[in-house]
Structure 1
Amino acid sequence: MNMRLIALPLLLIAGLAQAEDSNVQPYRYGSQPDIAQVLRIDKPASPRCEVVTAVMTYRDSTDSLRRLSYLTTSEACTRQN
C-alpha cells in the first residue's frame, strides 16, 4: 500500500485538530524546542495501532508554560507483536 495515501489524511486530520487550539504549537522536524520541564503528555486513546496526535505541556527555560503537538503511535502499538 502506498504510504502517501495513508500519510496525507493523517496529516490533514492532525492539522485540523491543531487549528482548534491556537495555544498548541505543532512540532516541525528539526526544530529544537526549549524544554526545561515536561509537565504532561496527552495521547488520545485508540483501540488500534495507528498514528495519533499527542500534546506535550511543558515549561521552557524562562518558566513559561507551552504546549507542543506531535505525531506518534497509539498505545495499542506497544501491545502488538
Structure 2
Amino acid sequence: MNTKAIYAACLFAALNICTLSARAEADVAPKTYTYGTQLDIKKVVSLTEDTAPSCGVVNARLTYLDSQSKTQALDYRKLADNCNSEN
C-alpha cells in the first residue's frame, strides 16, 4: 500500500470524527444560565457569541463536557468582545 493512500485514509477518518463531534454539539439542547446555576464543567469545547457592530450586551453560548464527558450547552448574556477597547 502506498503512503498517499494511507494519508488519504487518515485524513478521511479525521474529517469523519470532526463531523460527528460537530453533529453531537448541534443535538444538545442548551440551558439558560441564571444566577446560582450549578455548573459541572470538565472541559470547555467552544465559546461563541452573537456578532455586535458596537459595544453592548450580546447572547453567548458555552459548549462543554461535564464530569461524565457528556456534551452540554449553556446560553448566557455578556458584554461583547469588542468592548475591550472602549472605556
Same fold by TM (over 0.5)?
Answer: yes
Which among 8, 32, 38 is matched to residue 32 of structure 1? 38
Normalized against structure 2, the TM-score is what?
0.64
Q: Which residue of 2 aligns with 1:47?
A: 53
1:5 — aligned with what? none
| Residues 1:77 and 2:83 aligned together | yes
CA-based RMSD of the aligned residues comes to: 1.7
Cα-to-partner distance string for 1:5-57 (whole Å, 9 max, x where unaligned): xxxxxxxxxxxxxxxxx811000101121110001001122121110110000
Instruction: Flag structure 2 segments of 5+ consecutive residues without an equivalent.
Output: 1-27
Q: TM-score with structure 1 length normalisation?
A: 0.69
Paired position in structure 2 for 1:23: 29
Match of residue 9 from structure 2: none
Q: Which is richer in helix?
A: 2
Structure (1 or 2) with the larger CA radius of gyration: 2
Instruction: Mark the runs of 5 or more structure 1 residues left unpaired by the alignment.
Output: 1-21
Is the CA contact 1:45–1:75 (under 8 Å) kept in the aligned structure 2?
no
Kept in 2, the 8 Å contact 1:49–1:73? The answer is yes
Counterpart Cα distance in 1 of 2:55 and 2:32: 22
The 2-side partners of 1:54 and 1:27 are apart by 10
- After the TM superposition, which segments of 4 or more aligned residues of structure 1 sit over 2 Å from their partners? none
- Aligned residue pairs total 61
% identity of equivalent residues: 33
